[in-house]
Structure 1
């Protein structure tokens, strides 16, 4: 029996770092940066005003008070976007708008609220320290400095920074192309009337969404019945276009385990039991040179197995600097038990530093999975924990809602 870490290493070794490609900023949202990106310009690229007001020499307005205002002639108007800014002549001020370039010679901006808002002559009624409300060139980031670090996901803030420093395209890792295939003669498509003994196929919907949330491009293959020849024909007709094939079902110890039976004939996929619950039966290897990971068929087992083995491997292949889910400590709101010698991944609901178990440990309880926002991890050597005990919690979708 493998440990969780041993099987994680097996799956991770199947997926090399994906190649780099350049994409326009508009197509980069959610992608992973492949290389450090440097600022083409400084931010700000010029000294500018942080307020609507008046650009002045501090030494000429330092004594202004409400009781003894300083009157100054307004020599220029500087709206944002003006490019022909003239130097500030001694004894004058320039009316200036937020973001407009500071005229040479000015070292303070007096907000309009501290004046009478004059347009030809302005009365300044309060003094401010030298440099106040002035944004200095390069104070945010210098030209040539690293703006975005390789391995980081590109969200709204990162794309905004890239645009602000003049970058049109970003180097990212190509998305992994993942095929998802569910097996089982009992499966029928949602919307089809069920006959006795049939169930609706749900794993492909679950796994396609999980692949896409991890950053991949998923394609669902039509689920196949428990027939070795049909299964292999379906796989070999499609697998050459993929970076990874994920199957669900057909890997246990029963008499009709089509995935295990089919891949054993090829001799390139290894099956093992992993010391965990749910998700003990696992497989990994290659088919026609393409990596394949075989997951159990029960929906909760498939989900937990993806989270533990496949998701971090996909994110490492994408170059993520932090491929793992966020782990946090939490206090149990109630007691729990766990089987010996197996790492337990229980569904939970986390909030306010506490976690409560959602439903039982059964791997078929998909409704309970949908209500969970975390996985509670119980180590292999722990069989029971009292209320109030601290546990390791893996935050999954919806954890902060």
Structure 2
């Protein structure tokens, strides 16, 4: 899956973080667009502009419960000298056949109902006696007044300007306007807008399907009894949640033992529902050969020039990494380290951008900022490695959380940022401005 130029660097090449990420992003291509029903398109990215077919609202309508009247008929109205108008009927929301409001007339109108012909404005029911002849309607009477409760005439106690309490046709969007641009991620408000303008389906890039497989004979599922030398499988849960947070449809596969044939068959079984495969564990010295063997003979990739390349990166945590393609469809696969912090940091740096690229997003990275380091002691970093330390960020300052160990799950759970220490920096003093990757 990697280019010939990158493969020519050889197995002993120490990749930089930027080189590895560039290789991933130049290889991963956005998924092909499909037509989806609105609710199925939530979280997906539009691939074309959406034009408004009909104005919204499609007609002048009332924003209040009240009476549709002519301006001249209520001019100068007051509590002492109310305007008395004949009520000619009701106008309800969704009503097709509209009555006509003439001189000296009023029509009871509900919120959202079309403004009837002849009417120029709407007076709220609170400005009237509701047709009951008992003074202005207020409080619970205003809210509970039934349109069938008044016939004959209505007293109006205040004047109204033209088109008061009227939502004009096209005041939201007009026919021919661009409702949404290509590249928009469809959230609840966008789904609502599409429905409001009559779109039942939309053309989008689908959310990528990501399968997460954790490896390790020592792993036990939560709620099971731990044996000697065993630990709970946390990586598959963290990475599956992270994939969903990135916008993917994610599937978690329980821990697979360190057996090449078992791992190979598991991955082959999962390819049918994967646009991207993520494994965690078995990429460092020791389990390396088992995972390499398993991922080198999945499907027909050898004949097509695929396969997974295992690399060493100039970073901490997360030095061992794997990347390539597997199966007949060249499904991209990222192999991450097994230590929890290494795994999660690697996901944020490499897998999340790959997921966002599959979605067709232009901006695939977490936001970054500069912040002042607040710490009791100087931070140390190995020479030649880009270090990513967990931290908490607030008001332009970042504070380290936990140590540099790649097993510190509790510290990771309390962090909302990664502190970046460049490759050429070995010590960072408190008060120094540093780069911060925001995870929240």
Match status 1:386 vs 2:430: yes
Match status 1:272 vs 2:314: no
With the length of structure 1 as denominator, give the TM-score of the two structures: 0.87
Q: Deviations over 1:90-120 (max 9, x none)?
A: 3322221111101123332222222222243
Q: Equivalent residues in 2 for 1:2-401 (5 A)?
A: 2-118=15-131, 119=150, 120-236=152-268, 238-239=270-271, 242-254=274-286, 256-260=288-292, 262-263=294-295, 268-288=307-327, 289-328=330-369, 330-334=371-375, 337-339=379-381, 340-351=383-394, 354-382=397-425, 383-387=427-431, 389=433, 391-396=435-440
Q: Are the aligned partners of 1:54 and 1:112 in contact in 2 as well (CA < 8 Å)?
A: yes
Which moved further from structure 2: 147-156 or 131-140?
147-156
Q: Deviations over 1:210-239 (max 9, x none)?
A: 223323333344533334454445434544
Gaps of 5+ in 1: 397-401
Q: Deviations over 1:295-316 (max 9, x none)?
A: 1111111111111111121122
Question: 1:384 deviation in Å?
Answer: 1.0
Gaps of 5+ in 2: 1-13, 132-149
Which moved further from structure 2: 284-293 or 240-249?
240-249
Residues 1:191 and 1:123: Cα distance change in structure 2 (over 3 Å):
closer
Cα RMSD over matched residues? 2.8
SS at match of 2:46: coil
Question: 1:31 deviation in Å?
Answer: 3.1
Q: Are the aligned partners of 1:330 and 1:393 in contact in 2 as well (CA < 8 Å)?
A: no
SS at match of 2:191: helix
Q: Are the aligned partners of 2:54 and 2:175 in contact in 1 as well (CA < 8 Å)?
A: yes
Q: Are the aligned partners of 1:108 and 1:134 in contact in 2 as well (CA < 8 Å)?
A: yes
Which moved further from structure 2: 42-51 or 371-380?
371-380
Q: Deviations over 1:256-285 (max 9, x none)?
A: 553245556868322333333222222211
Greater C-alpha radius of gyration: 2
Which moved further from structure 2: 186-195 or 103-112?
186-195
Residues 1:338 and 1:57: Cα distance change in structure 2 (over 3 Å):
farther
Aligned length: 396
Aligned equivalent of 2:11 = none
With the length of structure 2 as denominator, give the TM-score of the two structures: 0.80
Aligned equivalent of 1:399 = none
Q: Deviations over 1:122-162 (max 9, x none)?
A: 33322343322110111101124332333333222122222
Distance 2:100 2:294 in 1: 80
